[in-house]
Each structure stands twice: as C-alpha cells, then as structure tokens.
C-alpha cells in the first residue's frame, strides 16, 4: 500500500509541475506578444498568440526559443506560399498582369527561403544584427509582392492573406530579436 501512495504522489506532482510549466509558457507567449504588438502597431496581438501557441515547442520555450520558433514559422509560411504561387501559375487563364505579379512574387519568396535559413543560422549564433536584417528583408518581400498587384487599378491579389501572414510572422520574429539584442 505505501508504494501506491508514493506512486500517486509522484503522478500528482508530475501533473502539477507540467500544468505549472504550461501556465508559465502561456503567460510568456501572451507577455511576449503584448510587447511585440506595443513595439509594432501593425502586428496583431491575437495573430501572435495564436501562431506561437500552435507551435509544438512553444509550451517549453523561453524568449530566445520563441524567437527561433517565430523565424521557423516564417520560413515554413514562406515555403508554403512559394509552393502555392507555383500552383497558381499552373492556371493558364490568369490575366497577363496578374501572371507577371505572381512571377515577381515567386522570385521574392524564392529568395526569402535561403535568407530565412541564414537568419536561423545567425540567430542560433546570437548574431542578432544580421538575423534582424535578414528577417526584415522578408517583410520587404511580402510587402513588395502585395504592392505589385496594386499597380493596376482593380486588380485583386490572390496572395493578400499569405503576404499578411508572412508580414505578421516576420514582425513577431523581428520584435523578439530586438528584445534580445
């Protein structure tokens, strides 16, 4: 019988510790996102919280870990957007202007992927200055992509949500990098 009570106590303490750790992690995410949104008024607090909470490792991450997660989420988003653009370009019925914009966006996102890979390397080595520049260039890529569609009146970008997500994820990463820098 004593073994059972020790086992029960061990299970209870493990559960209590993991619950406590999860609460602390969720508070860190909310506090980090609050600071990020204060730093950049274009950044959505809710988007930040939802994105970071969705990442598997976020429940046990510190601020530096959240920074790495945000860069990796940006890279994943950029890679996914690049594949999506390739799929869109398979449709031969696009207006020539829209097709040209999609090709420009494909080039921008194709350049963004290796840039984000380098940002991950620089971030890991605590070279925050270069990581900042690299992640910042991804914001520029998403904005440039979206702005290209606006050059012809009446054109609707098929990438607005994806470009905004890339912008938001990059802004989260930049804000965290700047908190650490």
**Confidence (pLDDT) at 59:** 86
**Predicted structure pTM score:** 0.85
Examine the pLDDT at 12 and tell me if it is beyond 90. no
Q: What is the DSSP string of the chain?
A: -HHHHHHHHHHHHHHHHHHHHHHHHHHHHHHHHHHHHHH-TTS-HHHHHHHHHHSGGGGG--HHHHHHHHHHHHHHHHHHHHHHHHHHHT-TTS-HHHHHHHHHHHHHHHHHHHHHHHHHHHHHTT-HHHHHHHHHHHHHHHHHHHHHHTTSTT---TTHHHHHHHHHHHHHHHHHHHHH-
Predicted confidence band of residue 20 (pLDDT cuts 50, 70, 90): very low
Q: Which domains does the chain have, with CATH numbers?
A: 2-180 (1.20.140.40)
Contact (CB, 8 A) for 119 and 71: yes
Mean of the pLDDT values across residues 137-156?
97
**Confidence (pLDDT) at 128:** 97
**Confidence (pLDDT) at 131:** 98
Q: How many residues does the chain have?
A: 181
Per-residue pLDDT of 27-45, as tens digits, reads 899 999 999 999 899 999 9
**Confidence (pLDDT) at 181:** 83
Per-residue pLDDT of 43-102, as tens digits, reads 999 999 999 999 988 988 999 999 999 999 999 999 999 999 999 999 999 999 999 999
The percentage of residues in the chain with a pLDDT greater than 90, rounded to a whole number, is 80
Residue corresponding to tokens 């398979």: 90
**Confidence (pLDDT) at 32:** 96
**Confidence (pLDDT) at 76:** 97
Predicted confidence band of residue 26 (pLDDT cuts 50, 70, 90): low
**Confidence (pLDDT) at 6:** 52
Per-residue pLDDT of 93-140, as tens digits, reads 999 999 999 999 999 999 999 999 999 999 999 999 999 999 999 999
């Amino acid at each position: 019988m004593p073994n059972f009570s020790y086992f029960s106590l061990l299970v209870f303490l493990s559960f209590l510790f993991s619950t406590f750790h999860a609460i602390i992690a969720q508070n860190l995410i909310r506090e980090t996102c609050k600071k990020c949104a204060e730093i950049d008024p274009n950044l959505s607090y809710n988007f930040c919280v939802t994105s970071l909470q969705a990442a598997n490792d976020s429940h046990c991450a510190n601020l530096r870990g959240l920074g790495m997660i945000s860069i990796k989420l940006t890279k994943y988003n950029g890679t996914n957007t690049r594949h999506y653009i390739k799929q869109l370009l398979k449709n031969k019925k696009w207006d020539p202007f829209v097709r040209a914009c999609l090709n420009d966006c494909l080039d921008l996102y194709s350049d963004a992927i290796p840039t984000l890979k380098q940002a991950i390397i620089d971030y890991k080595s605590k070279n925050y200055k270069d990581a900042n520049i690299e992640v910042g260039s991804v914001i520029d890529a998403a904005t440039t992509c979206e702005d290209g569609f606006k050059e012809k009146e009446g054109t609707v970008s098929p990438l607005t949500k994806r470009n905004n997500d890339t912008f938001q994820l990059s802004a989260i990463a930049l804000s965290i990098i700047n908190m650490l820098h």
